[in-house]
Structure 1
Amino acid sequence: MTAPEPTILATSGGLRVGGRTRVLFDALVHHAVDLSGVHGRRPRIMYVGTAIGDAEHFTARATEAARVAGFDLTPLHLFPMPNLEDVEGAVLDQDVVWVMGGSVANLLAVWRVHGLDRVMRRAWQAGVVLTGVSAGSLCWFQGGATDSFGPELRPVTDALGFLPYGNGVHYDSDEGRRPLIHRLVADGTLPTAHCTDDGVGLVYRGTELVEAVTELPGKGAYLVTREGDRAVEQRVEPRSLPPLSH
């Protein structure tokens, strides 16, 4: 069971602190599973932690979050070598691929060395729902603003480009991101940018933005377009996802 057409859910959220566990998958991750159309069995979700160097402690937390959610989770590690014999087969066998945040620049470099960029494109075209947070959102676009190179935000313009837009993440919680996105769109470094406050996700069918959704109240999504030599921002009100019971 896969989504009926190529589907991406690009987010600035999806995780929350648990009561008995350190991390839970929040409504955005559950929405990605819903978008896959899986039913009649446990959802299969792949966790990809490349952007934080496949940190084992977070793999353990994601595994626990999946257990609580009722998902079957497969971690994909690329450090120190791929942990799966058939990476492409494993990716294509998932309902959802969820990519952790961290360094998008490092993620892109490591994925390309291992050919995972091409695998992800094939999975996307096959209907595996691609999703993730922060770097796990930026990677699907043309580029955006990143702290991969240090605390001062810099542009990244060589992301995977499945979606022909710029992407702004953590739009309301990192004060440097909005002005940099505006500048990059205004000077043509980035195309039209789609941006998310923390807790917000953007749903794409093919390359078309079809909906903004949120797991937190009062949050927004934004379209930043170029008009002449300036950037113009339009707010998009997201649909509130139902809260989770656990």
Structure 2
Amino acid sequence: MPAEAPTIVATSGGWTRRDLGGVDWAGTAHLAVELARVPAGRAPRLTYLGTAGGDQRSWAAEVHAAGERAGFRTTVLDLFPLPSVDDPAGLLLGSDVVWVGGGSVANLLAVWRVHGLEEAFRAAWEAGVVLGGVSAGSICWFAGGTTDSFGPQLRPVTNGLGLLPYGNGVHYDSEARRRPLVHELVGSGVLGETHCSDDGVGLVYQGTELVEAVSEVPGKGAWIVRREGGGVVETRVEPRPLHR
């Protein structure tokens, strides 16, 4: 049973640190699994891509361990130094959830396109596979956003996959330059309407419609930034708390 409609959970969250080391999947990732409507009695099939971080094996081990604790059947799709499966497009299409990690969104997009995955992600999305991710793994689904992919100074990226026809601002409350740069880019027309998430917040889309914001952390917000008249207007979207 795939998701009821093409679904994306774009976040500045998804992970929580364990007291004894390592990480666990947090509320926004569990929500993505719930939206996939996995049949009872079968473990959710979650495919993780760490392309933006260079497919680090140590992090892949953390992903597998977190998946085991959560009851997920986890596959890590590596693209460095070569694809780790014979049919990456088939793996994506056969997943319940695809989750993309953070890092360099510019490098991620370039590598995906070299391997022909742009079309594969669209096919999976249209088939009801829930797409999600954090930071670079959020921006990639949009038309563009703000990124430190090119160096320590934030810059725009405008060649996202475009499944969602908006800009995306991640880490909106924790990195001081994110908010003013989003406002500059929207005001100048480099980015259109831009949807932003504080750390711990997820944006849930069905088709291309933002249906809700959710939060793993109390007091956080989501934001829509638009150009109106001669200025830029920012509107807060109050997230629904996730109790996990």
Tell me which amino acid in the other structure corresponds to 2:107.
Answer: N
- Please state whether the residue corresponding to 1:194 is helix, strand or coil: strand
* Partner residue, 1:167: 168
Aligned Cα root-mean-square deviation (Å): 0.8
Tell me which amino acid in the other structure corresponds to 2:56.
Answer: A
The within-5 A match list for 1:1-246 is: 1-40=1-40, 41-243=42-244
Distance between the aligned counterparts of 1:30 and 1:21, measured in 2? 20
- Please state whether the residue corresponding to 1:189 is helix, strand or coil: coil
Distance between the aligned counterparts of 1:21 and 1:43, measured in 2? 24
Contact 1:143-1:190 at 8 Å conserved across structures: yes
Contact 1:187-1:230 at 8 Å conserved across structures: no
Question: Deviations along 1:159-201, whole A, 9 cap, x unmatched?
Answer: 1100000000000000100000000001100010000000000
Distance between the aligned counterparts of 1:61 and 1:215, measured in 2? 20
Structure 2 portions without partners, runs of 5+: none
Say which is worse superposed, 17-26 or 139-148, in terms of deviation: 17-26
Distance between the aligned counterparts of 1:223 and 1:163, measured in 2? 14
Question: Deviations along 1:87-140, whole A, 9 cap, x unmatched?
Answer: 111111110000000000000000000011110010000000000000000000
Distance between the aligned counterparts of 2:97 and 2:19, measured in 1? 25
- Please state whether the residue corresponding to 1:142 is helix, strand or coil: strand
Distance between the aligned counterparts of 1:210 and 1:161, measured in 2? 18
Distance between the aligned counterparts of 1:12 and 1:22, measured in 2? 18
Tell me which amino acid in the other structure corresponds to 2:35.
Answer: L
Distance between the aligned counterparts of 2:241 and 2:178, measured in 1? 24
Tell me which amino acid in the other structure corresponds to 2:68.
Answer: R
Distance between the aligned counterparts of 2:73 and 2:145, measured in 1? 32
Tell me which amino acid in the other structure corresponds to 1:76.
Answer: L
CA shift for structure 1 position 39: 2.8
Distance between the aligned counterparts of 1:109 and 1:229, measured in 2? 35
Tell me which amino acid in the other structure corresponds to 1:44.
Answer: R
Distance between the aligned counterparts of 1:176 and 1:24, measured in 2? 29
Contact 1:21-1:64 at 8 Å conserved across structures: no
Tell me which amino acid in the other structure corresponds to 1:33.
Answer: V
Tell me which amino acid in the other structure corresponds to 2:60.
Answer: T
CA shift for structure 1 position 5: 1.1
Count of aligned positions? 243
Distance between the aligned counterparts of 2:67 and 2:132, measured in 1? 15
- Please state whether the residue corresponding to 2:181 is helix, strand or coil: helix
Distance between the aligned counterparts of 1:4 and 1:27, measured in 2? 20
CA shift for structure 1 position 21: 4.4
Structure 1 portions without partners, runs of 5+: none
TM-aligned CA distance change 1:44 to 1:114, over 3 Å: same
CA shift for structure 1 position 228: 2.5
Tell me which amino acid in the other structure corresponds to 1:39.
Answer: P
Question: Deviations along 1:36-58, whole A, 9 cap, x unmatched?
Answer: 11131111100100000001111
